[in-house]
């Protein structure tokens, strides 16, 4: 058997300890060891963004991130994104019809949560730039972008 090492990190607000091999990716740990399969495997090359999670609040591709480097860090996956901002994003995407096969959707929601935490009112150009690392093959992105613009405008109207 390959040697494993214990790693302790906060995952979706809960401290978790898991055994990790060598350079094992954070994605494999989340999917196979913590059974958080909402983090999707799309390419393992860092090209598609389906595995995006928030690491200390920043969006990263978990497929390329060394799980052992997550020691002591805070990880948020789609399963844990239930804050008010994330819920607004999810609701907007659902209502805009920005979901088809849905395989890219969790990664997109995570990315957008990261974006809107950093930039409260991104314009369409910034939204599209931020989403460039998340490939959606079904929607052509339009209804997703519309949904985010709706969230931004809704927030502006509420404030």
Partner 1 sequence: MSADMDFLSLTSLAEALEKLRSYGADAVLVAGGTAARYQLVSGMVKAKVALHIERIDGAAGFSGNGTARLGALTTLRDIAEDADILSRFRAVAMAAGKCGGWQTQSIATAGGNVCTAAPTADLLPPLLVQDAEIELQSRARGGRTLGLGEFLLDAFKTARAPDEMATAFLLPAQPARSADTYVRIQRRGAMERPIIAVALRLAMDEGLKNVSEVRIAVSGAGALPFRATEAEALMAGNAPGKEAIRAAADAILARSSFRTDPRASASYRKAVLPRAFAHAVSICSDAIAANGA
Partner 2 sequence: MSHIGSSAIRSDAWSKVNGETVYAYDYKEAGMLYGVLLRSPYAAGKLLRCDLAKARAMPGVRAAIGAADMPPTLAGWSIRDTPLFARDRVRYVGEPIAAIAADSLAEARAAATAIELEIEPGTPLIDPEAAARPDAPLLHPDWKDYVPTAGSDFPRNGNIAAECSADPGGVDAIFDAAPLVVEDLFTTQRQYQAYMEPKSAVAIYRAGRYIIHSGHQFPFNLRDRAAQFLGVATTDVRVIGHAIGGGFGGKLDYSVEPHAAALSKAASGRPVKIANSRVEDLATANCRESTIVKMRSAVDGDGNILARDVEAYMDNGAYTGEMSYMASFPFHCGAINYRVGKFRAIGKLVYTNTPPTGAMRGVSGPAMYAALENHMDHIAAKLGADRREYRLRHLVGDGDTLPNGQVLANTKLLRRGFDEIEKIVPWRGAAKDRVPYKGRGLAAAIWLVNPLPGALSMKLEEDGTLSVITAATDNGTGALAAGVPQIIAETLGIRPEQVRISDPDTDVAAWDSGSQGGRTTQTIGLAAIEGANQLRAKILETAGQLLQVDAGTLTIDDGKIRIEGETKSRMALSEVAMAATFGGASIQGTGGAALPAVPFNPGCANGLLFPFFASPTYHVHYAEVEVSPVSGNIDVTRYVVAQDVGRVINSACVEGQIQGAVAQSIGMTLYESMRFADNGRLIENNLQFYRLPLAVDIPKVEYVTMELDNIEGPFGAKGSGEAPILLPPAVIASAVADAIGKPICKIPVTPEDVLEALDGDGF
Q: Which does 150 bind (CB under 5 to 8 A by kind): partner 1, partner 2, none?
A: none
Residue 129 lies near partner 2 (rule: CB under 8 A): yes
Choosing among partner 1, partner 2, none, which partner's interface includes residue 42 (Cβ < 5 to 8 Å by kind)? partner 2
Q: Are 49 and 108 in contact (CB under 8 A)?
A: yes
Q: Does 132 bind partner 2 (CB under 8 A)?
A: yes
Q: How far is CA 140 from CA 58, 75, 97, 107, 128, in A?
A: 25, 29, 12, 16, 11
Pure H helices in 4-141: 26-28, 84-96, 105-118, 124-130
Decide which of partner 2, partner 1, none touches 50; Cβ closer than 5 to 8 Å per partner kind. partner 2
Residue pair 27/34 in contact (Cβ under 8 Å)? The answer is no
Q: Token digits for 86?
A: 């994330």
Interaction with partner 2 in 37-96: which residues (CB under 8 A)? 37-45, 47-48, 50, 77-79, 90, 93-96
Question: Rule CB under 8 A: which residues touch partner 2?
Answer: 2, 31, 36-45, 47-48, 50, 77-79, 90, 93-106, 109, 127-129, 131-132, 134-146
């Amino acid at each position: 058997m390959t040697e494993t090492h214990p790693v302790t990190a906060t995952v979706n607000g809960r401290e978790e300890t898991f055994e990790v091999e060598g350079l094992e990716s954070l994605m494999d740990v989340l999917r196979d060891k913590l059974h958080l399969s909402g983090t999707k495997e799309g390419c393992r090359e860092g090209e598609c963004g389906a595995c995006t999670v928030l690491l200390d609040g920043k969006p990263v591709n978990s497929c390329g991130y060394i799980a052992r480097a997550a020691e002591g860090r805070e990880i948020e996956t789609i399963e844990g994104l239930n804050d008010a901002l994330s819920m607004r994003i999810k609701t907007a995407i659902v209502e805009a019809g920005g979901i088809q096969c849905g395989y890219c959707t969790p990664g997109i929601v995570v990315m957008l949560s990261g974006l809107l935490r950093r930039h409260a009112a991104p314009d369409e150009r910034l939204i599209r730039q931020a989403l460039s690392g998340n490939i959606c093959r079904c929607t052509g992105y339009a209804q997703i972008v519309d949904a985010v613009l709706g969230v931004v405008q809704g927030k502006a109207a509420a404030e």
